[in-house]
């Protein structure tokens, strides 16, 4: 039943993405943000790259089960669902298993004992189990997006809630929130991450939760500081003088004025999260089929003769290009959204 | 006189944080991970109930987790606080060696790796960022920032694997891995040091450049220029000195972590420090060792913070008044 859940999540992400773009085009602030952003060539290029990865990850998330012909001749439902990406790749012949290693576009396997089923048909070669490396690399997009996306979905609400409350109310609330995050921040990040994942067991959810626990502190601190600044401004004062409730002030006046930080931090943290998954994969605590675990698997292949470089290179380049694009996009978004640099750019 | 009182207050302030850290560790290692599960992982899935019970009793995990009204002392929570606060760490969950001995053995190899990388990293990052900031707005600057983002985007594993492959397997400049105590071990340490410096360079150069460019916009720079100080004089005498304050704040916070070693570098290059000890503990599901490592890391961090704050207070009297 796991694939239905993933279908629903993928559908929701797609829908909310469309809705958000539609809404942003109507809102004057976000409209000018988009116009400024699209004026930068590097931002456009990196946005295109990130969207490409998003499309691949989403196409790998939407899956259904086929009706297949059983040995008896009846039509039965296949045991495992196949995603849109699986179907596209299998129509290109990429899902075909070979006997062992073969180089990119090779005509024979490395051992030359077994003939290739598709000579010259594997643009990035095959790995030790004969799986097509291009297919594996494309499959790695989904875990990477899941790490970045789900962790942010945990971090952003928690950090917003505690950061704004602490900054707005001050006093005891502030003391408590500060105590909690100072204590958490006193534990070395990587060690806390490892401890949490080992205690919760190795799964996607526990990796995301653990990354969330270790990364909400900095964000919360940032939001608290910004709220402290915003709440002193005149419009908050006048709202209070008019008798607006605290809840209304928080939602209508404070939240929109710190929200640019959420967008900036979300994009800038995303690449860090994807990179830390590759470290976790080396420690054996990462996600299955991620680029990190591909790199970890391919690590010993460099010592072989002839060396197997394509496995490591494909996974590392896929990871590198995504992180690079996200980094550039994050810088552009910060330049456009941050009022300090915004004035300079004009 | 005043500074003593400040130090004392700072230490008192750290006490509840230390207790909080211990509570978090308790929650992670005993509430989230059940001791019975740990026993099963240590003794194998098929271990009989007697074996598991004996293991739990041996490690003191058979007591109730939380204190009860009748017998508040006889519980894991109390034992956990007591053993950690008195530094009686006990034995490893896996090989029954005293954890303290392991840590004592691992400290020196870790430091021989982390201390040189730390100093080389700061030296290179500060000099390069100074250069890039000096040429701000020119192509050298754009190129430098671009290279920094490029360097930041490469996963650290790729730095290690590629460096090890290129420099020791193909070019044979350095040994693949290994360690030797004393000064003779230098050839084992160079490669990991070089790789960890290179891996961290992009991020720190970019960060330091931002600080320096920010400092270059201040009034004192204009004043210095007005009184006739040359461009390089402004840069090295005025900007560098003032930029060192925020840079040092960042740097001092890293110092406690030098003792913890580097998880990736040590396990890749076979250096028997605390990093590879932690890696082994992860592979063997050794929760006791991991718990102690996390605790020691936290203590080092807290003391590092106190030391930073006190040294600031010693330099800057305004902080003491707050």
Residue of B nearest to A279 (CA): B157
Could you tell me which residue, A113 or A184, shows the higher pLDDT? A184
Query: Could you tell me if residue A16 is inside a domain?
Result: no
Contact A191, B277 (CB under 8 A): no
Task: Output phi, psi for B179, to 5 deg.
Answer: -160, 150
- Closest-CA distance, A80 to chain B, in angstroms, reads 28
In angstroms, the Cα distances linking A98 to A86, A94, A105, A118, A290 are: 17, 10, 13, 8, 21
Q: What is the pLDDT of residue A270?
A: 92
List chain B residues with pLDDT less than 50: none
Query: Could you tell me if residue A209 is inside a domain?
Result: yes
Contact A90, A66 (CB under 8 A): no
In angstroms, the Cα distances linking B198 to A8, B159, B182 are: 43, 8, 25
pLDDT digits (tens, 9 = 90+) for A89-103: 888 777 777 777 777
Q: What is the pLDDT of residue B126?
A: 92
CATH at residue A237:
1.10.3720.10
**In which band, very low, low, confident or very high, does the pLDDT at A346 lie, cut at 50, 70 and 90?**
very low
ipTM of the complex: 0.86
Which DSSP category does A293 fall into?
A: H
Task: Output phi, psi for B48, to 5 deg.
Answer: -75, 165
Of A194, A282, A284, the CB nearest to B264: A282
pTM of the model: 0.88
Contact B266, B195 (CB under 8 A): no
pLDDT digits (tens, 9 = 90+) for A314-331: 999 999 999 999 999 998
pLDDT digits (tens, 9 = 90+) for B194-236: 999 999 899 999 999 988 888 888 888 889 989 988 888 888 8
**B15/A contact by beta carbon, under 8 A:** no
**Is the bond into A306 cis (omega within 30 degrees of 0)?**
yes
Query: Could you tell me if residue A162 is inside a domain?
Result: yes
Contact B260, A188 (CB under 8 A): yes
Query: Could you tell me if residue A245 is inside a domain?
Result: yes
Could you tell me which residue, A172 or B33, shows the higher pLDDT? A172
Q: Among B108, B91, B107, which residue's Cα sits nearest to residue B99? A: B91
- Closest-CA distance, A199 to chain B, in angstroms, reads 5
| First and final C-alpha spacing in chain B | 16
pLDDT digits (tens, 9 = 90+) for A185-219: 999 888 999 999 988 888 888 999 999 999 999 89
Q: Among B137, B105, B120, which residue's Cα sits nearest to residue B190? A: B120
Number of domains forming the structure of chain A? 1
Q: What is the pLDDT of residue B51?
A: 78
Token pair of A74 as six digits? 């009846």
Query: Could you tell me if residue A119 is inside a domain?
Result: no
* CB–CB contact B291 A195 (8 Å): yes
CA gap B248, B246 in Å, rounded: 5
Query: Could you tell me if residue A323 is inside a domain?
Result: yes
Q: What is the pLDDT of residue A89?
A: 81
Task: Output phi, psi for B248, to 5 deg.
Answer: -60, -35
Of B20, B24, B298, the CB nearest to A188: B298
Using CB atoms within 10 Å of the CB of residue B40, give its burial: 0 to 12 exposed, 13 to 18 middle, 19+ buried.
middle
Query: Could you tell me if residue A19 is inside a domain?
Result: no
* CB–CB contact B29 A327 (8 Å): no
Between A and B, how many CB-CB pairs are < 8 A? 115
Q: Which residues contact residue A220 at a Cβ distance below 8 angstroms, ignoring those fewer than 6 apart?
A: A158, A159, A162, A163, A166, A177, A181
Of B25, B149, B302, the CB nearest to A328: B149
In angstroms, the Cα distances linking B220 to B133, B208, B212, B226, B242 are: 17, 19, 13, 10, 10
Query: Could you tell me if residue A118 is inside a domain?
Result: no
Of B33, B149, B169, the CB nearest to A324: B149
Strand intervals (E) in chain A: 63-64, 67-69, 75-77, 82-83
Domain membership of residue A213 as a residue range? 147-345
Tell me which of A45, A148, A175, A282 to substitute to probe the interface with B (most B C-beta atoms closer than 10 Å): A282
- Chain B stretch 244-273, residues whose beta carbon is closer than 8 A to a beta carbon of chain A: 257, 260, 263-264
**B120/A contact by beta carbon, under 8 A:** no
Q: What is the pLDDT of residue A311?
A: 86
- Closest-CA distance, A247 to chain B, in angstroms, reads 30
Tell me which of B25, B153, B304, B308 to substitute to probe the interface with A (most A C-beta atoms closer than 10 Å): B153
Indicate if the pLDDT at residue A120 is higher than 70. yes
Q: What is the pLDDT of residue A343?
A: 46
């Amino acid at each position: 039943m796991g694939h239905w859940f993933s279908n629903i999540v993928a559908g929701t992400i797609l829908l909310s993405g469309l809705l958000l773009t539609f809404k942003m085009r109507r809102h004057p602030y976000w409209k000018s943000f988009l116009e400024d952003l699209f004026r930068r060539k590097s931002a456009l290029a990196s946005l295109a790259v990130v969207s490409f990865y998003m499309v691949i990850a989403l196409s790998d998330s939407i899956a259904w089960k086929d009706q297949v012909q059983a040995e008896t001749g009846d039509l039965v439902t296949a045991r495992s669902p196949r995603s849109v990406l699986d179907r596209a790749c299998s129509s290109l012949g990429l899902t075909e298993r070979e006997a062992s290693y073969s180089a990119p576009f090779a005509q024979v396997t490395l051992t030359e004992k077994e003939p290739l089923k598709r000579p010259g048909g594997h643009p990035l070669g095959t790995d030790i189990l004969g799986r097509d490396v291009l297919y594996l690399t494309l499959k790695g997009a989904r875990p990477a997006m899941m790490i970045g996306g789900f962790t942010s979905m945990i971090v952003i609400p928690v950090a917003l809630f505690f950061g704004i409350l602490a900054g707005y109310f001050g006093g005891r609330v502030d003391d408590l929130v500060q105590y909690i995050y100072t204590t958490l921040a006193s534990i070395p990040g990587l060690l806390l991450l490892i401890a949490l994942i080992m205690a919760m067991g190795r799964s996607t959810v526990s990796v995301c939760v653990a990354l969330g626990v270790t990364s909400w502190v900095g964000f919360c601190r940032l939001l608290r500081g910004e709220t402290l600044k915003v709440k002193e401004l005149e419009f908050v004062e006048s709202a209070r003088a008019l008798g607006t409730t605290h809840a209304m002030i928080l939602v209508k006046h404070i939240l929109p004025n710190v929200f640019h930080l959420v967008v900036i931090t979300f994009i800038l943290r995303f690449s860090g999260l994807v990179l830390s998954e590759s470290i976790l994969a080396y420690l054996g605590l990462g996600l299955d089929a991620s680029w990190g675990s591909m790199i970890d698997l391919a690590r010993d292949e460099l010592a072989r003769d002839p060396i197997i470089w394509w496995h490591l290179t494909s996974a590392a380049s896929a990871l590198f290009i995504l992180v690079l694009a996200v980094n550039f996009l994050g810088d552009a978004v910060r330049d456009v959204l941050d009022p300090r640099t915004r004035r300079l750019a004009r | 006189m005043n500074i003593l009182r400040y130090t004392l207050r700072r230490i008192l302030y750290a006490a509840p944080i230390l207790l909080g850290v211990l509570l978090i560790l308790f929650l992670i290692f005993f509430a989230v991970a059940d001791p019975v599960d740990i026993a099963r992982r240590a003794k194998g899935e098929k271990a009989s109930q007697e074996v598991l019970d004996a293991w739990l009793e041996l490690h003191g995990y058979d007591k109730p987790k939380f204190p009860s009204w009748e017998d508040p002392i006889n519980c894991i929570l109390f034992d956990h606080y007591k053993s950690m606060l008195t530094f009686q760490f006990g034995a490893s969950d896996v090989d029954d060696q005293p954890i303290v001995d392991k840590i004592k053995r691992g400290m020196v190899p870790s430091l021989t790796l982390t201390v040189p990388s730390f100093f080389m990293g700061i030296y290179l990052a500060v000099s390069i960022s100074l250069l890039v900031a000096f040429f701000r707005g020119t192509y050298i600057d754009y190129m430098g920032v671009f290279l920094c983002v490029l360097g930041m985007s490469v996963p650290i594993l790729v730095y290690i694997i590629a460096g090890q492959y290129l420099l020791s397997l193909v070019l044979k400049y350095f040994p693949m891995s290994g360690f030797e105590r004393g000064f003779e071990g230098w050839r084992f340490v160079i490669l990991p040091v070089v790789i960890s410096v290179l891996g961290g360079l992009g991020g720190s150069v970019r960060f330091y450049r931002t600080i320096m460019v920010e400092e270059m916009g201040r009034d004192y720079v204009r004043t210095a220029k007005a009184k006739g100080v040359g461009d390089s004089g402004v840069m090295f005498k005025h900007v560098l000195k003032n930029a060192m304050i925020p840079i040092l704040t960042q740097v001092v916070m890293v110092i406690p972590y030098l003792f913890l070693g580097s998880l990736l570098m040590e396990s890749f290059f076979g250096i028997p420090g605390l990093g590879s000890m932690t890696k082994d503990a992860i592979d063997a599901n050794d929760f006791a060792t991991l718990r102690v490592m996390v605790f020691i890391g936290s203590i080092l961090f807290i003391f590092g913070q106190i030391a930073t704050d006190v040294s600031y207070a010693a330099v800057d009297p305004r902080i003491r008044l707050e």
